Amino acid sequence: MSEELTRLSAAELAEKIHSREVSAVEVAQAHLDRIAAVDDEVHAFLHVATDAALASAAMVDESLDAGTAPASPLAGVPLALKDVFTTLDMPTTAGSKILDGWRPPYDATVASRLRAAGITILGKTNMDEFAMGSSTEYSAYGPTRNPWDTTRVPGGSGGGSAASLAAFEAPLAIGTDTGGSIRQPAAFTGTVGVKPTYGGVSRYGLIACASSLDQGGPCARTVLDAALLHEVIGGHDPLDSTSIDEPIPAVVEAVRLGATGDLSGLRVGVVREMGGEGYQPGVRASFDEALRQLEKLGAELVEVSCPHFEYGLAAYYLILPSEVSSNLARFDAMRYGLRVDTGASAEEVMAATREAGFGPETKRRIILGTYALSSGYYDAYYGQAQKVRTLIARDFAEAFAQADVLVSPTTPTTAFPIGDKVDDPLAMYLNDLATIPTNLAGTAALSVPSGLADGLPVGLQVMAPALGEAVMYRVGAAYEAARNAEDGGPLINRVPSIPGGAG
């Protein structure tokens, strides 16, 4: 029974909890048991909040027993939170040694909204340090393993969140996407990941990587679950000055519409510059198949061109490090986390702390960004990159004049072996080829499972204009339903057994 509960979707669990068929405590316990059974192998979690999770679930049960309506459609459902959001009752490390042992004095808005919705926070998930990386190998606390093949990476930076879903340790998770860190791990683990419109989900209490690109978003095993979570965490927050003061797009309704399987009248743009050279043959084959499916669903395929996307990676790897070099200056050994007390001057303490506390990739990006912003180079690097960013946003605007959504493979390859790219930054960066343009433009995109290539999951990316989440979810849901029908059920059910777990 306990093992079966971990196989259900968030929507199914909510239904059972709210009808009192099972208690929220039983559901929380089933997931905690699953974590205990498989997480030594998967290492999705940096912190498991057993007592807090059970206490939160008990409160939901009590209030339901008292006849009170559920606090939200997801009340009582467990969730795994990326360890980059501050939490009052749990440590927050952002995957870095420099924050080891830090207890934040406040909850991120995302965390407080989850709590208010009655969602059970199981714990905090592993990630690349300060959300920089594509494999979770840059975590200071050791890599997360992909439940499909534990010799492979789950993607990054939110590999812990995605792996927790694929390992059936949690039905819901939260990630952040600065250049693809929700969507690429979703693609690698056969799960669903959504990068909302910039400003759609509050960044208050989200430890900054690159502030103009960072965006929190929902991760789940089904498009409906992602939509339900999106409506819990989204919406205006006066504590985040870049938060959009508009209603949350009606994404749950859009999923229900999409699930009817009719996309007639919709124009789906196929970006000429994406999905060709540099993409693994199995990924290309899956994409071609997805296009045929979308056509069968009634969508009209139109070819669009986004000529500046090819410069996206180069622009991103100037803009992101520049912002990182500024944002990470706050880790000065004076206010929080690690302090290497050399007993000498404040500057020496700072230098020794940053030397000991930051990993190699973080240092690399701070140095790159400091250089790109330095006087004499600012215009040539940072300034030029910002111009490219504008051109990419224009490419999107022109494409969205011809199509309601755009599609591409989410990633150029499937999950790669642990250790393969960790010493080759450029190879690691290339993972984000298809996801980065969306972050630069501030638009929305999701990744939905799109079959297997050589036994490993592939993702289909659906991109939409800013605040165009409804149509994006509609397409995602229609595609998911069509695939499930064709594959005889969700592919995630084929995830191999994990040693220690019943699989």
Our answer to whether residue 421 is catalytic in this structure is no
Record the tokens describing residue 84, joined without a space. Answer: 């980059």
Cis peptide before 157 (omega within 30 of 0): yes
CB of 102 to ligand GLN, least distance (A): 20
What is the rounded CA–CA span in Å between residue 79 and residue 269? 34
CA distances from 422 to 32, 134, 410 (A): 31, 9, 21
Q: Which is nearer to ligand GLN, 192 or 320 (CB)?
A: 320
Q: Which is nearer to ligand GLN, 169 or 177 (CB)?
A: 177
Q: Residue 178, class by beta-carbon neighbours within 10 Å (0-12 exposed, 13-18 middle, 19+ buried)?
A: buried
Which position among 9, 23, 56, 82 bears the catalytic label? 82
With residues binned 3-state (H G I as helix, E B as strand, rest as coil), the percentages for the chain, rounded to 5, are 45, 15, 40
CB of 287 to ligand GLN, least distance (A): 21
Which residues of this protein are in contact with ligand GLN, per CB under 6 A? 131-134, 157, 176-181, 209, 320, 432
Q: Which is nearer to ligand GLN, 86 or 181 (CB)?
A: 181
Which position among 23, 72, 181, 286 bears the catalytic label? 181
Q: Which is nearer to ligand GLN, 231 or 432 (CB)?
A: 432
CB of 449 to ligand GLN, least distance (A): 20
Nearest to 472 by CA among 113, 230, 137: 230
CB of 207 to ligand GLN, least distance (A): 11
- How far is C-alpha 366 from the geometric centre of its chain's CA atoms? 23
Which position among 157, 161, 243, 450 bears the catalytic label? 157
CA distances from 392 to 114, 187, 310, 380, 397 (A): 34, 23, 9, 18, 9
- Residue 216 has a CB neighbour count (10 Å cut-off) of 27
Say whether 360 sits in a helix, a strand or coil: helix
Say whether 176 sits in a helix, a strand or coil: strand
CB of 129 to ligand GLN, least distance (A): 10
Only one residue has tokens 């060709």, namely 276
CB of 235 to ligand GLN, least distance (A): 22
Q: Which is nearer to ligand GLN, 128 or 231 (CB)?
A: 128
Q: Which is nearer to ligand GLN, 178 or 191 (CB)?
A: 178
What is the rounded CA–CA span in Å between residue 151 and residue 415? 10
Our answer to whether residue 82 is catalytic in this structure is yes
Residues tagged active-site: 82, 157, 181
